[in-house]
Chains A and B, each alone.
Chain A
Amino acid sequence: MFGLIGHSSSFAQAQEKARDLGLEEMAEADLLSWCSAPPQLLETFEVTSKTGKTIQGTYIDSCFVPEMLSRFKTATRKVQNAMELAQKNGINVTALGGFTSIIFENYDLSKFQQIRNTTLEWERFTTGNTHTAWVICQQVETNAPALGIDLSKAKVAVVGATGDIGSAVCRWLAQKTQVGELLLVARQQQRLLDLQTSLGGGRILSLEEALPEADVVVWVASLPQTLTIDHSTLRKPCLMIDGGYPKNLDAKVAGDGVHVLKGGIVEFWQDIGWQMMEVAEMENPKRQLFACFAEAMLLEFEGIHTNFSWGRNNISLANMELIGNASLRHGFRAIALDSARSRSDNSGLELAAA
């Protein structure tokens, strides 16, 4: 059994979902009441791989909503209680979705292993970041050429380069592809310098400096609400992979030669009999899901019951290849721009794990 810990993308959406589930009291309750709502195991379902193997999954809603982000104790409690619920249900591997892994990482929740009378077993959880990083790299490699961008000459900016996913993307692009130049953007200078050293290259720039130079921009940092991007200064064509959470880049810059693709999203080869992905506002919620969730499925398909993605900057290229190969074998593929999708469909081309 694998598990997914997710949450609604807004309080209003959470209320609407509660109403759909017949939880009228919750639909009527205010945000403060939701702050005390315990996690709910909302559904169990089956997933069948392209190989024919069938596994069981379960979806846990942490009852967190992004409006709670400013409340440290509430946010951490939601994550810890959802993890405890997953473990108590004996789930082998559970992916932390949405803000869940961000809260876990930023608040360093690995310090708090004891939840009431339960000792959390970290090996039962994964951030899913290895698969997410691999998927984002595939999205760069497939979609840039579809827009006429020659990756061997292209400048690829990674915004959030020193983060868990960002640094893995940088390593992959530097070592597994022929990208023209990597532009490294992040807030902490020392981490950037360390990354540059470990990569043996890449140019450190501010966001403002990097954007006008970049043919491809990989965003793996959540964007501040206040961020504005001057469309006129961007290169055309420009491929932007929105790998942050929440995904709010599209409205800011898309159009007129700037192509925005939702990063770290995969599509399964057939419909999955679940309802809950609707809360993630996927275009095709029966088949599309976050790559981090898919990682939990892949680990269960493969019988890898360890915390495959855990901690910061532990993602190895070998593990990216391993999870990437599993991803293709079991019937996932990274979502693509329409132009890239039609090319790929016509040629019957499958994305290859390097």
Chain B
Amino acid sequence: MATLEATDLPTESGSTGLPDFTSASYKDAYSRINAIVIEGEQEAHDNYMSIGTLLPDQADELTKLARMELKHMKGFTACANNLGVEADMAFAKEFFAPLHDNFKNALAAGKVPTCLLIQALLIEAFAISAYHIYIPVADPFARKITEGVVKDEYTHLNYGEVWLKANLESCREELEQANRDNLPLIRRMLDQVASDAAVLHMDKEDLIEDFLIAYQEALTEIGFSTREIARMAAAALVG
């Protein structure tokens, strides 16, 4: 397309360097972000184990996934220790509570598709996008650990995709409803964490867009049409 030099674009600016990992403000923000990550991995473990009770023939596979999450949790706990930070777990439990409740209700009702949408799609996409954005601004210790974790999380996203793809026709409506019920929660969670993430040089806009890209990719893989996906993702844009 026609380009050119008289186009007045702003020059690059903003926080492109690494944050000061030793500052009090960094450690304060990190105590909550790190707690969210630890709690997220713990809940992921518990959720996969729970899903295994609904899908007994897949319980072994799910147990394997769950174990990986515990390993991640230990890695992230080490990251906090390395920085001399104590994770604010009370904050994190409250942070996950609405999503956790929805998962618990779906589990009690035996709704496998909803459980998988919450854990294997939403939470995994959330984690993958956040880790991708965190890696370039992480301290060297955490960076190495997070890079290892991202690779695992893709396999988890993939697990949910495969099951939902195979069962799409019988669970399409349930998934659309689960999307409506839970996607706005993710959006609110991202909003809630935005100011702490900014201290870690993670931009809220990046977080939301990257999350939606990962989520949309999963929906594509499952077999939703491009228009359906656009419609489903739009639910995340209104806070």
A interface residues with partner B (beta carbon < 8 Å) = 18, 21-26, 28-29, 33-43, 69-75, 77, 81, 84-85, 88, 95-103, 105-107, 116-117, 127-129, 132, 159-160, 162-166, 186-188, 220-224, 243-245, 263-264, 290, 292
User: Are B5's CB and A25's CB within 8 A?
Assistant: no
6 closest A-B pairs (Cβ-Cβ)? A221-B6, A36-B208, A163-B4, A25-B234, A160-B4, A221-B4
* A228 to B230 CA separation, bound complex (whole angstroms): 41
A100 and B1 within 8 A (CB): yes
**Minimum distance in angstroms from A65 CB to a CB of chain B:** 14
Chain B 2-46, CB-CB to A under 8 Å as 1, else 0, gives 111111111111100000000000000000000000000000000
List B188-222 residues whose CB lies under 8 Å from chain A: 203-206, 208-210, 212-213, 216-217
B6/A105 in contact, CB under 8 A: no
What residues of chain B lie closer than 8 Å to A132, measured between beta carbons?
A: 1-2
Would you list 17 pairs from A and B whose C-beta atoms are within 8 A, ordered by A residue? A36-B205, A36-B209, A36-B212, A36-B237, A38-B216, A72-B12, A73-B206, A81-B209, A99-B1, A117-B150, A117-B154, A129-B3, A163-B3, A164-B3, A186-B5, A188-B5, A244-B4
| Distance in angstroms between the alpha carbons of A97 and B235 in the assembled complex | 28
B64 interfacial contact with A, CB 8 Å: no
- Pick the residue among A25, A72, A163 that contacts B238 (CB under 8 A): A25
When the two chains form their complex, are residues A220 and B2 in contact, meaning their CB atoms are under 8 A apart? yes
- The answer to whether A21 and B227 have CB atoms under 8 Å apart is yes
B58 CB–A CB distance under 8 Å: no
> Does any Cβ of A come within 8 Å of B231's Cβ?
yes
Given A42-B226, A70-B10, A72-B14, CB of A245 within 8 Å of CB of B238: no
A37 and B212 form a contact (CB under 8 A)? yes
Q: Are B2 and A22 in contact (CB under 8 A)?
A: no
> What chain A residues lie within 8 Å of B238 (beta carbons)?
25, 28-29, 33
CA distance A163 to B1 in the complex (A): 12
Q: Once bound together, how far apart are the Cα atoms of A222 and B9, in whole Å?
A: 11
A263 lies within 8 A of B2 (CB): yes
By the criterion CB–CB under 8 Å, are B237 and A224 in contact?
Answer: no
CB closest chain-B residue, reference A136? B2
Given contacts A21-B227, A37-B212, A38-B216, contact A221 B1 (CB under 8 A): no
* Nearest Cβ on chain A to B228's Cβ, whole angstroms: 10
- Do B10 and A165 touch (CB < 8 A)? no
Q: Which residues of B have CB within 8 Å of A22?
A: 227, 231
Measured CB to CB, the nearest residue on chain A to B234 is A25
**How far apart are the CA atoms of A20 and B202 in the complex, in Å?**
34
C-alpha spacing A186/B3, complex, angstroms: 13
Q: Across the interface, which residues of B come within 8 angstroms of A75, CB to CB?
A: 9
| A98 contacts B1, C-beta separation under 8 Å | yes
Contact A222 B226 (CB under 8 A): no
Given A106-B7, A220-B4, A221-B5, is A34 in contact with B206 using a C-beta cutoff of 8 Å?
no
Whether A102 touches B3, Cβ cut-off 8 Å, given contacts A74-B205, A116-B210, is yes
Chain B CB count within 10 A is highest, among A69, A106, A127, A292, for: A106
Residues in A whose Cβ lies below 8 Å from that of B8 = 224
Residue B212 contacts which of A23, A25, A38 (CB distance < 8 angstroms)? A38
What chain B residues lie within 8 Å of A117 (beta carbons)? 132, 150, 154
Whether the Cβ atoms of B213 and A81 lie closer than 8 Å is yes
Q: Is there an interface contact between B237 and A245, defined as CB atoms closer than 8 Å?
A: no
With contacts A101-B1, A128-B1, A165-B4 taken as known, whether A77 is within 8 angstroms of B234 at the C-beta atoms is no
- Complex Cα distance A77/B212, Å? 13
Query: How far is it, in angstroms, between the C-alpha of A159 and the C-alpha of B227 when the chains are bound?
Result: 41
A102 & B1 in contact (Cβ 8 Å cutoff): yes
B233 on the A face (CB < 8 A): yes
Given contacts A26-B237, A36-B237, A74-B205, contact A222 B212 (CB under 8 A): no
